[in-house]
Structures are given as structure tokens and as C-alpha cells.
């Protein structure tokens, strides 16, 4: 089999993790896919910066150069913001390439359009890494729970906020101090607004809603608030009641497919499935009409969890192509 | 498309649940599979007993009659013990039928042989319901975490025992009294030995080991003990240390594929992912080499959770057949 040829867009934590794993896990990939996987190109902002990338890999800041590569199969995108990612991925799909993305802001805004375009073009867009990092929640909903109607989802989808709320309670410190600790440990960005104001969770809730309903979701439907108003007093009052404050994204889908969704801090008691989720973990409680409450928990971010789940997407694409070819 | 034709073996809680769901969810099944699903036969022990089954469904105690049905596609097995299930499923596979089973004792003993036979015959054996009832852990391991090497699993796999241990702690009662309550609520069998002595968990650990290693597993490898020796004093001593006693099946797989496995009560602290799993829930902590600790939690038994997950298996079989046919 000829190699599967990959371009990686973005070489930050996740992008470089994908590169590293493809380099170091060739044996496993060959075993899973029947042939090697080769990184042919990496798209970066600054080509001058020094990076540990093999000499025969094209390192460029020009996406058109990547599209001109012969026999490229798949684009793995791990950059931030809606643009330039959306333009890149649209062009990739139009050129008949498969796409794997971790970009939640892009996918919340333009995922519906990208999936429609991919269907027309006969390729796939995989987005497991956009929600809950290393937790395979998209696959569970798409592949494992099709006969169940998902009637409710309640989830902790931002590890930074969950870490801050856990720290505030455990160490009885202010939000500012807990945030500083999170930044020191690399859990929070220098500009934490996307996390702390709840937008990051909003993106993920929109992605889940579009997956569950098959429709383009109007964001105005989703009330969104973050944790910036939460005080140590709120936390200790909750503790007195035996409760913990968690930042929760929730959605309900009724019989007619109508949705209600909300992103906000919630005080939960010990019997709530999200009570015990601490630190940087994410957790998703999925209520199926038949199977009841299922909880999926794990690291919501991080280099290898996120990169590995993107390669799981890559594997699923090419295993299903292989299967189809075998049955031909 | 001609209907997908099903025979259900066993009409207890789970078997009758499968029948009911196929009857009541035809629209959804047609939408998922492109055609109807029809139950053509039900195998029971006592044909004289009154049941709510349509007149045009063959109700028989003779498996050979089922094998003679024209155009049967799949056998859904929900009986207990290794025999007669093993003989039935072997004959079904030899006749080219697909198989979906919930029978963990059978699958722990003979699953390896059945999967080998199925591979030779070009059919599939699905066994999602054998481990952790409604929690799609087999699918997660097989479909979603292929690029991760699972290095460790720790799990609560018996809802009856977890209910008993939870009750003993919360109500400060003896094991006998907690067991009586479990029986009154229908969580425990009249003969609870399989649960309380740990054999039920042993079955599930063996099934997971065979899935993860691809080898037939020697049961002597797995040290197994139940909870019959646990006293209220053990429980309260654990509480004093801030711990809870949980019955845990655990397994470790090393680089060379060597395994170590164990089934026994363990005292776990609050930071342990199994500490918060209470009542009849099951939970599986899967440690991937890349993705870290993932937790899958949900109902380990019950009519609709288990029946629905068996139909998820059915859907996955016939969706993959349909896909292969389309790409031809």
C-alpha cells in the first residue's frame, strides 16, 4: 500500500504532538492501516523558527503550497480562531482531502457547512478532538449510541474552569489566585477570557447540539455565562450545603427535536454525577432514553491525549476506506 | 430492502426487552438500517407459558427449528450458563448467522472460540452487553481507542456488589441485610453466589483481557475473591481513613503483552476514580498510554439498558454490511 500522506496545520502543543506520534508510532499505524503514514508538510506562521521536523518535510506558511503536494490524503488542523482555518479546510475538502480538526471555535461556527461540503465531495471531516480533548465522546454518540435517543447532556467541558473551581474550594483562594496557579501550571492561557467567560464551553455545546440534531444551531438559543462572578463566599456557602459549584454545559432535546441549552455555573449535590469531577478533567453525562445516564470522563486537553484522539480519527477514516476497498 | 430477520434466544428480562424494543422502535430501525427488522422466532424453555408475543412469531424450545427458518440473519442470545448457549451459537455461526450475545459466562469461557469460528465463516459475534450492561465499553475499546495501548483497566463491574457495599456503608448494616434489600429490589438473584463470590466480575475481566490481548486467557492467571468476608467493621474502618471499599476487577498489560489481573475488594481514597461510583452503577477506568485515564460509567444491568446496547450491536453489524454493499 502506498503511504497515507498527511499535512499538519499548526505546530503548537497539539500539532507537534500529532507529528511526534506519527513519527514514533509507525509500527502501530502500519499494523492498524496496512501501510505507513507520512507527514509531508507542516503549515506554520513563522517558517524561520527552529523546530524538530525532518528535512524532507515541507515547512511552509503558504497553504497553497500544501494543496499542490502530489497525492496528499488528509489535513490535520490544530490552529485557533475561525480564520484562517475555515478557508484552509474548505479548500482542502474542495480538493478532495479528508480533514481532522481540533479547532472548536472554527467547528462551532462553521462545522455544519464543512460537513455538508464534505458530504457533497465524498470525504469526511472528523472532529473528535473539538469536544473534551482525549475523551472519545463524539465517537460514542455517533457510533455507539445510535439506537438511543439522547434526551439530555450535562457536562464539564473546560478543564481550566474546573481546575479553578476545585482550587478555590480546596485552598479557599480567590478566583484571581486560582487562575494564576492555573496559568503557572500551563492549564490556562495568558488571556483566559475564552475559558473563564464560558465561550469555550459554548463552542462545545453548539458542536454537540449540531451532532445530535443534524441541524445548524442558532447560538442565541444558548444562554451563556462563565465563572467570573463566582466568589469564595459562593463556594463556601455551597460547601455548607454539601454542594460544589461546577461550570456546566447542558442541553435537552425533546421528542420533536426541539432543543434547550445553557452554559453556566451550577451548584450540585453529592448524588450528581458531576460532583466528583475534579481538577482539569472533563466529564459528559449523556442521558439516553433507553440506556439511562452514561458518564464519559477524562483529560479535556493536553498534548498527547488530544493528539492521540486526532490520530484515532485518522485511523477510523482509513480503516473504513480499507474495509470498503476489501469488499469491492 | 428485505427485512433483517432475527431470532431471540431466551425471553427473560433482557430477551423480552430486545423483543419489545424491536417491536416499538421500527421507525428508528428503518431509519438506521434502510429496512425493517423482524423477529421471526423466540427460543424459550417452556412453550406452554403465556407471553406477549405476536402470533406470527415462532415460539419454540427446539433450536433446530430456528435454524431451519428461511433467510434468518442474526441470533440474539440472552440466556445464562455456558450450555446450551455455546452449542446454539456455534451452530448459528456455522450456518452463517450473525450473533449478538449478553451471556458473559458463555463468552468468558468460549468467546475466543466463537470469534475464531466467526472469522472463518465471515460473520461477526458482538458482545457489547457482556461487560457493564448498558455502558458501551467494548465499542470504546475496539473502535475508539485503537491507537492507544491500554496499559491498565480498573473497574466496578458488578452492580449488585456495589449496591451492597454502598448500603452497608450508608445504612451501617450487615452484608446479609444489604443483600436482602438488593434481592427485594430485584438487583440480586435468589442465589447470589455468582455475584458475591466475584465470579461474575471474573467473567468480565477475562472477556476484557481476551479483547485487549487477542489471546485465549488462562483463568488461573486471575486471582479472584468476592465480598463475603467484608464486615461492617471493615467498612467503618475504611470510612475513618476517608476511604470506601469497592469490589474491583483490575488488569495490567505490559509492553510484551504480558498480563496481570485480579478481582477483589479494594479500599480506595477520594482521589481514586472509583470512589464516587455508588449504588448499582458500573464504571471502568481505562488507562491508555497516550490518553491517560478515561472513565466510562453507567447502568451495569437492567432490561432496557442491556437490551438497547444489544440492538446497538445489531445496528453496527448491518450498517457495516450496508456500507460495504454501497461501496461495491
Q: Is the pLDDT of residue B328 over 50?
A: no
Residue with cell 473502535: B143
Residue A249's domain comprises 137-299
Q: How confident is the model at residue A190, as a pLDDT? A: 77
Task: Note which residues in 5-34 of chain A have CB less than 8 A from chain B.
Answer: 21, 25, 28-29, 32
SS3 content of chain B, % helix, strand, coil (to 5): 45, 25, 35
Q: Are A103 and A85 in contact (CB under 8 A)?
A: yes
Spatial distance between the Cα atoms of B292 and A75, rounded to a whole number of angstroms: 25
Best of B21, B294, B307, B318 to disrupt the A interface (most A CBs within 10 Å) is B294
**Band of residue A326 on the pLDDT scale cut at 50, 70, 90:** low
Q: How confident is the model at residue B221, as a pLDDT? A: 86
Let me know whether A22 and A117 are in one domain.
yes
Let me know whether A125 and A262 are in one domain.
no
What separation, in Å, do the N-terminal and C-terminal C-alpha atoms of chain A show?
16
Let me know whether B187 and B278 are in one domain.
yes
Would you call A303 helix, strand, or coil by DSSP? helix
Closest to A294 in 3D by CA, of A302, A303, A285, A306: A285
Q: How confident is the model at residue B327, as a pLDDT? A: 57
Let me know whether A36 and A148 are in one domain.
no
Q: Any catalytic annotation for residue B204? A: yes
**Band of residue B248 on the pLDDT scale cut at 50, 70, 90:** very high
SS3 content of chain A, % helix, strand, coil (to 5): 45, 25, 35
Q: Is the pLDDT of residue B296 over 50?
A: yes
pLDDT tens digits, one per residue of B153-164:
999 999 999 999
Closest chain B residue to the Cα of A323, Cα to Cα: B324
CA distances from B30 to B23, B216, B319 (A): 12, 37, 11
Closest chain B residue to the Cα of A275, Cα to Cα: B276
**Band of residue A11 on the pLDDT scale cut at 50, 70, 90:** very high
* A/B interface, count of CB pairs below 8 Å: 147
- CB distance from B147 to chain A under 8 Å? yes
Q: Is there a contact between A143 and B148 if contact means CB atoms under 8 Å apart?
A: no
Residues sharing a CB contact under 8 Å with residue B152, sequence separation 6 or more, in sequence order: B250, B251, B252, B253, B285, B286, B287
Let me know whether B208 and B247 are in one domain.
yes
- Average pLDDT (A256-283) is 95
As a whole number, the mean pLDDT across chain A is 95
Among the listed residues A204, A246, A273, A323, the single catalytic one is A204
Half-sphere exposure of A36 (CA within 13 A, CB side): 8
CA distances from A103 to A133, B137, B176, B225 (A): 11, 27, 54, 47
**Band of residue A328 on the pLDDT scale cut at 50, 70, 90:** very low
Who among A140, A298, A319 is closest to B136 (CB)? A140
Residues sharing a CB contact under 8 Å with residue A272, sequence separation 6 or more, in sequence order: none
**Band of residue A188 on the pLDDT scale cut at 50, 70, 90:** confident
Closest to B288 in 3D by CA, of A31, A307, A319: A307
Let me know whether B99 and B176 are in one domain.
no
Would you call B81 helix, strand, or coil by DSSP? coil
pLDDT tens digits, one per residue of B170-222:
999 999 999 999 999 988 877 888 899 999 999 999 999 999 999 999 998 89
Beta-bridged to residue B60, according to DSSP, are B43
Let me know whether B290 and B313 are in one domain.
no
Best of B127, B291, B294 to disrupt the A interface (most A CBs within 10 Å) is B291
We report the CATH number of the domain holding residue B321 as 3.40.50.720
Q: Is the pLDDT of residue A327 over 70?
A: no
Closest chain B residue to the Cα of A139, Cα to Cα: B144
Q: How confident is the model at residue A65, as a pLDDT? A: 98
pLDDT tens digits, one per residue of A298-308:
999 899 999 99
Q: Is the pLDDT of residue B36 over 50?
A: yes
Three-state SS letters, B152-213:
EEEEECCHHHHHHHHHHHHHCCCHHHHHHHHHHCCCCCCCCHHHHCCHHHHHHHHHHHHHHH
**For residue B42, is it left (φ>0), alpha (ψ between -120 and 50) or beta?**
beta
- Average pLDDT (B275-281) is 95
Residues of chain B positioned with their CB less than 8 A from the CB of A302: 292
Who among A147, A275, A288 is closest to B32 (CB)? A147
Spatial distance between the Cα atoms of B31 and B65, rounded to a whole number of angstroms: 31
Peptide bond into B153 cis (omega under 30): no
Let me know whether A141 and A277 are in one domain.
yes
Residues of chain B positioned with their CB less than 8 A from the CB of A28: 147, 149
Q: Is the pLDDT of residue A80 over 50?
A: yes
Spatial distance between the Cα atoms of A200 and A219, rounded to a whole number of angstroms: 13
Let me know whether A286 and A143 are in one domain.
yes
DSSP B87-124: HHHHHHHHTT-EEEE--HHHHHHHHHHHHHHHHHHT--
pLDDT tens digits, one per residue of A39-77:
999 999 999 998 999 999 999 999 999 999 999 999 999
Q: How confident is the model at residue A89, as a pLDDT? A: 98
Spatial distance between the Cα atoms of B118 and A62, rounded to a whole number of angstroms: 50
Which residues in A135-242 belong to E strands, given as ranges? 150-156, 222-224
Let me know whether A102 and A173 are in one domain.
no
Q: How many domains are there within chain A?
A: 2
Q: How confident is the model at residue B186, as a pLDDT? A: 86
Q: Is there a contact between A293 and B299 if contact means CB atoms under 8 Å apart?
A: yes
Closest chain A residue to the Cα of B136, Cα to Cα: A144
Q: How confident is the model at residue A257, as a pLDDT? A: 82
We report the CATH number of the domain holding residue B143 as 3.30.360.10
pLDDT tens digits, one per residue of A204-226:
999 999 999 999 999 988 999 99
Let me know whether B96 and B202 are in one domain.
no
Half-sphere exposure of B73 (CA within 13 A, CB side): 14
Q: How confident is the model at residue B326, as a pLDDT? A: 61
C-alpha cell at A110: 462553521
Spatial distance between the Cα atoms of B208 and B263, rounded to a whole number of angstroms: 13
CB-count burial class (<10 Å; 0-12, 13-18, 19+) for A71 = exposed
- Average pLDDT (A119-141) is 97
Measured in angstroms, the CA of B11 and the nearest CA of chain A are apart by: 19
Would you call A152 helix, strand, or coil by DSSP? strand
Q: Are B147 and A307 in contact (CB under 8 A)?
A: no
pLDDT tens digits, one per residue of A159-182:
999 999 999 999 999 999 999 999
Let me know whether A190 and A61 are in one domain.
no
Spatial distance between the Cα atoms of A156 and B277, rounded to a whole number of angstroms: 17
Amino acid at each position: 500500500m502506498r503511504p497515507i500522506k498527511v499535512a499538519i496545520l499548526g505546530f503548537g502543543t497539539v500539532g507537534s504532538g500529532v507529528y511526534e506520534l506519527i513519527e514514533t508510532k509507525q509500527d502501530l499505524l502500519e499494523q492498524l492501516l496496512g501501510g505507513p503514514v507520512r507527514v509531508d508538510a507542516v503549515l506554520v506562521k513563522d517558517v524561520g523558527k527552529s523546530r524538530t521536523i525532518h528535512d524532507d518535510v515541507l515547512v511552509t506558511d503558504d497553504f497553497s503550497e500544501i494543496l499542490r503536494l502530489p497525492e496528499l490524503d488528509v489535513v490535520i488542523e490544530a490552529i485557533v480562531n475561525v480564520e484562517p482555518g475555515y478557508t484552509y479546510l474548505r479548500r482542502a475538502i474542495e480538493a478532495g482531502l479528508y480533514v481532522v480538526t481540533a479547532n472548536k471555535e472554527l467547528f462551532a461556527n462553521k462545522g455544519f457547512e464543512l460537513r455538508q461540503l464534505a458530504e457533497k465531495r465524498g470525504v469526511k471531516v472528523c472532529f473528535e478532538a473539538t469536544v473534551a480533548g482525549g475523551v472519545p465522546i463524539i465517537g460514542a454518540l455517533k457510533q455507539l449510541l445510535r439506537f438511543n435517543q439522547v434526551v439530555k447532556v450535562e457536562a464539564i467541558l473546560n478543564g481550566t474552569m474546573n481546575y479553578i473551581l476545585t482550587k478555590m474550594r480546596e485552598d479557599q483562594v480567590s478566583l484571581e489566585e486560582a487562575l494564576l496557579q492555573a496559568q503557572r501550571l500551563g492549564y490556562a492561557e495568558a488571556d483566559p477570557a475564552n475559558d473563564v467567560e464560558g465561550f469555550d464551553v459554548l463552542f462545545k455545546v453548539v458542536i454537540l447540539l449540531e451532532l445530535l440534531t443534524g441541524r445548524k444551531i442558532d447560538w442565541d438559543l444558548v444562554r451563556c455565562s462563565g465563572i467570573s462572578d463566582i466568589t469564595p463566599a459562593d463556594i463556601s456557602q455551597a460547601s455548607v450545603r454539601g454542594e460544589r459549584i461546577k461550570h456546566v454545559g447542558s442541553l435537552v432535546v425533546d421528542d420533536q427535536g426541539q432543543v434547550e441549552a445553557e452554559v453556566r455555573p451550577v451548584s450540585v449535590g453529592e448524588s450528581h454525577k458531576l460532583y466528583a469531577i475534579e481538577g482539569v478533567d472533563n466529564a459528559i453525562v449523556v442521558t439516553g432514553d433507553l440506556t439511562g445516564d452514561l458518564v464519559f470522563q477524562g483529560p479535556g486537553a493536553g498534548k498527547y491525549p488530544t493528539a492521540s484522539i486526532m490520530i484515532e480519527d485518522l485511523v477510523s477514516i482509513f480503516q473504513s476506506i480499507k474495509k470498503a476497498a476489501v469488499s469491492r
